[in-house]
Amino acid sequence: MGMFSNRRRSSDDGSFRVVTGAFAALVLLAVAGIGFELSRQSMLSIRRFGMSFWTGTTWDPVSGVFGALPFIWGTLYSSILALLIATPIALGIAIFISELSPRFLRQPLSYLTELLAAIPSIVYGLWGIFVLVPIVRKLELSAPDAIRKLALFKGPPLGVGMGTAALILAVMVIPFTSSVAREILKNVPTAQREAAYALGATRWEAIKVAIGYGKSGIIGSIMLGFGRALGETMAVTMVIGNNPQVTASLFAPQYTMAAVIANEFTEAADDLYLNALVEIGLVLFIITIAINALSRLLIWSMEKRSSRPMAIVPLLEEQPAQ
Amino acid sequence: MTTALSTTPGGLTTGRSTMTTTPTTARLGKITVRHFDFYYGEAKVLHGIDLDIPERQVTALIGPSGCGKSTFVRSINRMNDIIPEARGEGVIEIDGKNIYAGGTDVVELRRRVGMVFQKSNPFPKSIYDNVAYGLKIGGTRNKRALNDAVEKSLQRAALWEEVKDRLQESALALSGGQQQRLCIARALAVDPEILLMDEPASALDPIATTKIEELIWELKENYTIVIVTHNMQQAARVSDLTAFFMLGKVIEFGDTKKIFMNPREKMTEDYVTGRFG
Ligand SMILES: Nc1ncnc2c1ncn2[C@@H]1O[C@H](COP(=O)(O)OP(=O)(O)OP(=O)(O)O)[C@@H](O)[C@H]1O
Ligand SMILES: [Mg+2]
């Protein structure tokens, strides 16, 4: 009897593993397939420009010269800015909901932040154009000359530009980061908080313990937001100004990879132009995967540090004098 | 059913069965509990607890599951405060001061009353940082002071020899028994007067359990210890006094020997002998 049930269980395990393994392989295959197809469709441009596609700053469809650096720059710069704005706010929201807010407010607040994530990005774009852009323009116009001279704030006071795009991206990223971070904090065992309280921790110190416990997950939530910002298209296109240039200025109109593909794909008349646009897609694909891999690595090394024995590090300066 | 009794411990007096029905401020021990009730929302789980827990002795709390032992020990450092809808009524005095009086500094209280939990709960930090945590949040910044305290606490918890060469390793790499001793060291590091232990050895193997028991025996020279246990032999081995809880009441409290050999209450006898088989 025992043998039978054992056998059945192990064969269940086997088929379960095959099925889940097949799905995992399918995902890998899809990723590889996308990479392959993007490369194939951009062969013309890859052959023509080689690595200079990544570093070129000219994007001139008329004379057939294509360099993607301004778009790469625009995507990374806007995403990093958005991350800088969104992360503290998102974590603040997560901490408030999971640790500080009265119980009856928790559910409604959670739903509300998740609702923000469900709004289509074109709606954010419209909101950006009608609300955010005029506000930013007013700010730009009222900025004193001394500030306008700084590299960070040079450029025409249009309202559209890098700063506006970063703001709107931040708003779109916040719900993602905050709901994942909230879930992470919620899953921190009560025993961790109790251990802190039992040692005389204040509420804030106990919260810090919970954050420390969920550190790798919280970093994951931030990276999720980053990934979302990298790929965001519609809302950014509507407010960033769509002007390819590499500049630190927040007031200057710039461009992103996703935006240029969306804007120019339908009008790309010749093959090289089309191939160059697909190659931008390939670049975006590679950068996204690289950043995800890096963040995985970061989380993995942190988890390793906190849960497994490290190489023995002698406590040199910390060794008490005997 | 018997009314809750308050008894002076250790055969100091003759009137062991003195009935105490009104709160009194007379100090009979380190921890004086008078008419303490506890509620989770509407549910009343502790009914008029009266106990006098003496200084530098081990007091064991025994009783069937769900009788309120954990609730009671967690009331002594007000750990239950973090449970919403839970509240205590009555008096628990430590050194004559009611810890449930308004204006009590709970953070200060918890530094004086350390706690060790059933399941070891080290922070995902290094061994060193675990032990130093309480001091650090208490404001100790001096490296030397921290080092000394970490070493002393680990020694008291009988863990120093095993970990002194790897203080910077993750605490989660320790075995279950070592983790529990680490948690004891962590509690000792802030130099409490009282140590509350809620089934500290129930998740450990016999050897690790023996280590913890020996430790408790040594610690009582300096600390007042309250320990919850389901293990009758353990209570008999480590404690000076035993309180038998049932359905949220203290049925009997007194010398551990007497509780086990010659209990006054029939219920106590049934429980104690039932467990022995
Ligand atoms: N957080 C809580 N919310 C509501 N009721 C609770 C809570 N914790 C405990 N109780 C209830 O209070 C009563 C006493 O529980 P307690 O945990 O103090 O018992 P115990 O004697 O420690 O039991 P055990 O030996 O199983 O650990 C039980 O009826 C339990 O269901
Ligand atoms: Mg319990």
Q: Is the CB of residue B194 less than 8 Å away from at least one CB of chain A?
A: no
Confidence (pLDDT) at A298: 85
Beta strands B194-198; B224-228: pairing state: parallel
- Burial-class residue B61 by CB neighbours within 10 Å (0-12, 13-18, 19+): buried
What is the Cα–Cα distance from A94 to B207, expressed in whole angstroms?
A: 43
Using an 8 Å CB-CB cutoff, list chain B residues near A299: none
Neighbour count for residue B146 (Cβ, 10 Å): 20
B11 in helix, strand or coil? coil
Residue B162 pLDDT class (50, 70, 90 cuts): very high
Of B27 and B145, more confident = B145
Confidence (pLDDT) at A179: 92
Strand-pairing partners, residue B52, are B32
Helix-helix angle A257-264:A69-95, to 10 degrees: 120
For residue B42, pLDDT over 60 is answered with: yes
Q: Is the CB of residue A205 less than 8 Å away from at least one CB of chain B?
A: yes
Quickly tell me which residue has 């205590």 as its tokens. B88
CA atoms within 13 A on the CB side of A152: 5
Confidence (pLDDT) at A6: 52
Q: Is the CB of residue B169 less than 8 Å away from at least one CB of chain A?
A: yes
Of A311 and B275, more confident = B275
For residue B16, pLDDT over 90 is answered with: no
Residue to substitute from B117, B121, B147, interface A, most A β-carbons within 10 A? B121
Mark A79-91 as b/e (b = at least 16 C-beta within 10 Å).
Answer: bebbbebbbeebb
For residue A156, pLDDT over 70 is answered with: yes
Residues 6+ apart with CB under 8 A from A229: A78, A79, A82, A83, A86, A169, A172, A173
Query: Can you tell me the mean pLDDT for A22-43?
Result: 94
For residue A172, pLDDT over 70 is answered with: yes
Query: Can you tell me the mean pLDDT for B220-234?
Result: 93
CA atoms within 13 A on the CB side of B107: 12
Beta strands B241-246; B224-228: pairing state: unpaired
Distance from CA of A49 to the nearest CA of B (A): 50
Q: Is B66 in the pocket of ligand 1 (CB under 6 A)?
A: yes
Residues 6+ apart with CB under 8 A from A172: A82, A121, A124, A228, A229, A232, A235
Structure-token pair, residue A261: 């593909």
Residue to substitute from A199, A204, A315, interface B, most B β-carbons within 10 A? A199
Kindly give the distance from the C-alpha atom of residue A137 to the centroid of ligand 1, in angstroms, as a whole number. Answer: 61
Query: Can you tell me the mean pLDDT for A149-167?
Result: 89
Q: Is the CB of residue B138 less than 8 Å away from at least one CB of chain A?
A: yes
Distance from CA of B3 to the nearest CA of A (A): 32
Confidence (pLDDT) at A307: 53
Kindly give the distance from the C-alpha atom of residue B137 to the centroid of ligand 2, in angstroms, as a whole number. Answer: 28
Query: Can you tell me the mean pLDDT for B248-272?
Result: 93
Please report the residues numbered 139 through 158 in chain B whose beta carbons come closer than 8 angstroms to any beta carbon of chain A: 143-144, 147-148, 151
Q: Is the CB of residue A316 less than 8 Å away from at least one CB of chain B?
A: no
**Record: contact A201-B107, CB cut-off 8 A:** yes
Q: Is B70 in the pocket of ligand 1 (CB under 6 A)?
A: yes
Q: Is the CB of residue B245 less than 8 Å away from at least one CB of chain A?
A: no
Using an 8 Å CB-CB cutoff, list chain B residues near A210: none
Query: How many CB pairs (< 8 A) connect A and B?
Result: 99
For residue B6, pLDDT over 60 is answered with: no
Quickly tell me which residue has 């993007």 as its tokens. A38
For chain A, give the mean pLDDT. Answer: 88
Q: Is the CB of residue A106 less than 8 Å away from at least one CB of chain B?
A: no
Q: Is the CB of residue B61 less than 8 Å away from at least one CB of chain A?
A: no
A312, B165 in Cβ contact below 8 A?
Answer: yes
Top mean pLDDT of A86-100, A138-152, A297-311 is at A86-100
Q: Is B120 in the pocket of ligand 1 (CB under 6 A)?
A: no
Using an 8 Å CB-CB cutoff, list chain A residues near B84: 103
pTM of the model: 0.81
Q: Is B234 in the pocket of ligand 1 (CB under 6 A)?
A: no
Confidence (pLDDT) at B277: 33
Confidence (pLDDT) at A9: 65
Neighbour count for residue A26 (Cβ, 10 Å): 10
What is the Cα–Cα distance from B182 to A256, expressed in whole angstroms?
A: 53
Rounded to two decimals, the ipTM of the complex is 0.86
Distance from CA of B136 to the nearest CA of A (A): 10
A177, A258 in Cβ contact below 8 A?
Answer: no
For residue A108, pLDDT over 70 is answered with: yes
Nearest by CB: A307 against B107, B124, B165: B124
Strand-pairing partners, residue B196, are B115, B226
Query: Can you tell me the mean pLDDT for A54-83?
Result: 95
Of A309 and A215, more confident = A215
Q: Is B80 in the pocket of ligand 1 (CB under 6 A)?
A: no
Q: Is B45 in the pocket of ligand 1 (CB under 6 A)?
A: yes
Query: Can you tell me the mean pLDDT for A261-273?
Result: 92
Distance from CA of A27 to the nearest CA of B (A): 33
% of residues, chain B, pLDDT over 90: 76
Residue A321 pLDDT class (50, 70, 90 cuts): very low
Cα distance between the two ends of chain B:
24
Confidence (pLDDT) at A8: 60
Structure-token pair, residue A174: 């916040």
Kindly give the distance from the C-alpha atom of residue B80 to the centroid of ligand 1, in angstroms, as a whole number. Answer: 11
- Sorted by where each starts, the structural domains of chain A and their CATH numbers stand as 71-318 (1.10.3720.10)
Kindly give the distance from the C-alpha atom of residue B117 to the centroid of ligand 1, in angstroms, as a whole number. Answer: 14
Query: Can you tell me the mean pLDDT for A174-199?
Result: 94
Residue A301 pLDDT class (50, 70, 90 cuts): confident
Kindly report the protein residue whose alpha carbon is nearest to atom 31 of ligand 1. B66
- Please state, in angstroms and as integers, the Cα–Cα distance from residue A23 to each residue in A17, A109, A126, B69, following that order: 10, 35, 39, 50
Top mean pLDDT of A41-45, A268-272, A317-321 is at A41-45
Query: Can you tell me the mean pLDDT for A287-295?
Result: 90
**Record: contact A309-B169, CB cut-off 8 A:** yes
Tell me the best of B61, B65, B70 to mutate to test the pocket of ligand 1, counting ligand atoms within 8 Å of each CB and taking the most. Answer: B70
Residue B18 pLDDT class (50, 70, 90 cuts): very low
At B209, which amino acid appears? T
Candidate from A97-111, A185-199, A306-320, B174-188 with smallest mean pLDDT: A306-320
Query: Can you tell me the mean pLDDT for B50-67?
Result: 95
